[in-house]
Amino acid sequence: MKEKFRFRPNVAVGVLVTLLLAAVGWVACSRELPEPESRAAKLYTRYCSGEGCHGPISPRRGGKRYWDMQYARMLPLMRKEGWKLPTQAETEEILTYLHRHARGTQAEK
């Protein structure tokens, strides 16, 4: 005997939330980087796109504190994987770039 299709609100809500989060993430991550030809954007892309783990994330995704935290969190992971780390000067340039274009800054608008 065939079982009738039953609408399950909890499942439907879960699917909708998942799709919405995926769409928001895709939009946030797929935007072109600001100043894409600048040295800072190229450094950011080289060091902060995970060498194949993920593409570069738009600086507009978070504020200055978010980027400070993310940058500090990722360096030990990069070191553990044996990836080349940015020099202190490159780090300063990358963070200046991220701060300049972070959410909530004038450059964002």
- 2 within some domain: no
Structurally, how many domains does the chain consist of?
1
> Does 4 fall in a domain?
no
**At which residue do the structure tokens 């030990």 appear?**
76
What dihedral angle (degrees, nearest 10) is formed by the CA atoms of 57, 60, 63, 65? Answer: 20
Determine the structural domain holding residue 84 and report its residue range: 9-108
Distance CA 56, CA 38 (A): 14
**Structure confidence at residue 98 as a pLDDT band (50, 70, 90):** very high
- Whether residue 68 lies inside any domain: the answer is yes
pTM for the structure as a whole: 0.67
Residue 4 pLDDT grade (very low, low, confident, very high; cuts 50, 70, 90)? confident
**Exposure of 38 in the CB half-sphere (CA atoms within 13 A):** 16
